[in-house]
Amino acid sequence: MGMTMESPLATALSQLRGAIDQLGLSESDWQTLSTPRRVLQVAVPLRRDNGEVEMYDGYRVQYSTTRGPSKGGVRYHPDIDLDETIALAMLMTWKCALTNLPYGGAKGGIAIDPGTLSLRENERLTRRYTSEILPIIGPERDIPAPDVGTDERNMAWMMDTYSVNAGFSVPGVVTGKPIVLGGSLGRTSATGDGVAIATREALRVKGIPIEGARVAIQGFGKVGYWAARAVENMGMKVIAVSDVNGGVTGFPSVTALWDHFLTQKNLDLPGADRLTNEELLHLDVDVLIPAALADAITEATADKVKAKIVVEGANGPTTPSGDAILHDKGILVVPDILANSGGVIVSYFEWVQDKQNYFWSAGEVKTNLSEILMRAFNEVETTATNKGATWREAALMLGVGRVAEAHKLRGLYP
């Protein structure tokens, strides 16, 4: 591999190039599909509680609107930049196509550490950001959702800011809202629930019993925590989890760990053992679930991975050289655009419910999530077998292929 430049955008573009080649698409298709349709960078002024004003960079990228309004999360993290936002918006495009949701793909965010914000600073920042991107969002244009560093409270403020400007309530402008504002039952746990379904199915394919299967999870946020709970409920054993401050193993159950985490804001459960994030990646487990940030499994870390299956809860956690090493080691990788699609699937349900002003039961959400995810899973498994491709290649061929077909059918204006 040598000194290849690895960044989320380089990873996403190299995956797209692979899919275009495997599908036998043309150079024009490459041009069309590798270009984001609309890129907005905004300055977001923040008045701190002490009266001082600071400026932050905000982004919203609408990578594609070919199959419907664009859709994607809003991330608050100090390291995000335009390139990473483009990469994540591209992944959303293939994910929505793979799962057959009537959406294009988008992503947005602010380059800030939300841990430095008081509640009122967070509200002011979120409202100002929403106001700056207001002209290009809306239920028929582009629908934001939570991502790293944001949650349902941010969505409530975004919905309110948009609605105040419209003059009436527009719940469908964002998803991942609190239930009382038009959120959907089952949205909070949806990404983790989907990760668990993908894990269960991958174990089946590999012939490993689900009961007692050993799982390690990197990241204990909105995706990692709910995935941990869901796999535990399916009978698997969560051996270790971690967050930005490192990992922990030897705890009695995910529930016990979560109870401690909620009150103490750390993973130092008495009686449990600490380990580093790197040690977690290299544990002797059946399944490794990276559910934190991009670039966790790289040329440097992939070689010592002992798991038989990697289920990508995070977006872009594996770099191309890391991926090649996992492949050589015979490790089955369930790619991000399949494994973490439960979030956008239930976001789609939320948007549908908001449009119809008719709300579903938790059971309906669960059944419909499982049906859509299982259909995508089976298509990926079959395509991988038929084309002799990896699951990532198969998932991208399905997603990219559908967007390319939609482009052809719509034609080019003028």
Minimal distance, residue 29 CB to ligand NAD, in Å: 27
Paired tokens of 292 = 């934190």
- CA separation, residue 237 to residues 230, 233, 262, 337 (Å): 11, 9, 21, 25
Per the listing, tokens 């159950």 go with 253
Distant-in-sequence, close-in-space partners of 255: CB < 8 Å, separation ≥ 6: 229, 232
107 tagged catalytic: yes
Minimal distance, residue 167 CB to ligand NAD, in Å: 30
- Residue 61's DSSP bridge partners are 39, 107
Interface residues with ligand NAD (CB under 6 A)?
A: 146-149, 191, 218-224, 242-244, 277, 291-293, 313-315, 340, 343
Which residue's CB is nearer to ligand NAD, number 144 or number 224?
Answer: 224
Which residue's CB is nearer to ligand NAD, number 292 or number 403?
Answer: 292
Minimal distance, residue 409 CB to ligand NAD, in Å: 28
The CA-to-CA distance between both ends of the chain, in Å, stands at: 43
**388 φψ region: left (φ > 0), alpha (ψ -120 to 50), beta (else):** left
Which residue's CB is nearer to ligand NAD, number 290 or number 404?
Answer: 290
Minimal distance, residue 369 CB to ligand NAD, in Å: 12
Which residue's CB is nearer to ligand NAD, number 149 or number 335?
Answer: 149
- Give residue 76's identity as a one-letter amino acid code: Y
User: What distance lies between CA 41 and its chain's CA centroid?
Assistant: 22
Determine the Cα–Cα distance for residues 187 and 24; give it in Å rounded to an integer.
37
Minimal distance, residue 207 CB to ligand NAD, in Å: 28
3-state secondary structure of 241: strand
**Active-site choice (107, 177, 222, 308):** 107
Which residue's CB is nearer to ligand NAD, number 216 or number 223?
Answer: 223
The strands making up 53-64's β-sheet, listed across from edge to edge, are 38-47, 53-64, 105-110, 70-76, 142-146
Which residue's CB is nearer to ligand NAD, number 32 or number 150?
Answer: 150
Determine the Cα–Cα distance for residues 334 and 289; give it in Å rounded to an integer.
10
Inter-helix orientation angle 362-387/190-206, to 10°: 40
C-alpha R_g of the chain:
20
**Element spanning 97, H or E:** helix 82-98
- Residue 237's DSSP bridge partners are 214
Minimal distance, residue 115 CB to ligand NAD, in Å: 10
Which residue's CB is nearer to ligand NAD, number 147 or number 286?
Answer: 147
The dihedrals phi and psi of 98, each to the nearest 5 degrees, come to -60, -40
Minimal distance, residue 75 CB to ligand NAD, in Å: 7
**Element spanning 243, H or E:** strand 237-243
Residue nearest ligand NAD, Cβ-based = 221
- CA separation, residue 62 to residues 108, 390, 397 (Å): 9, 28, 21
Catalytic residues, by residue number, are 107
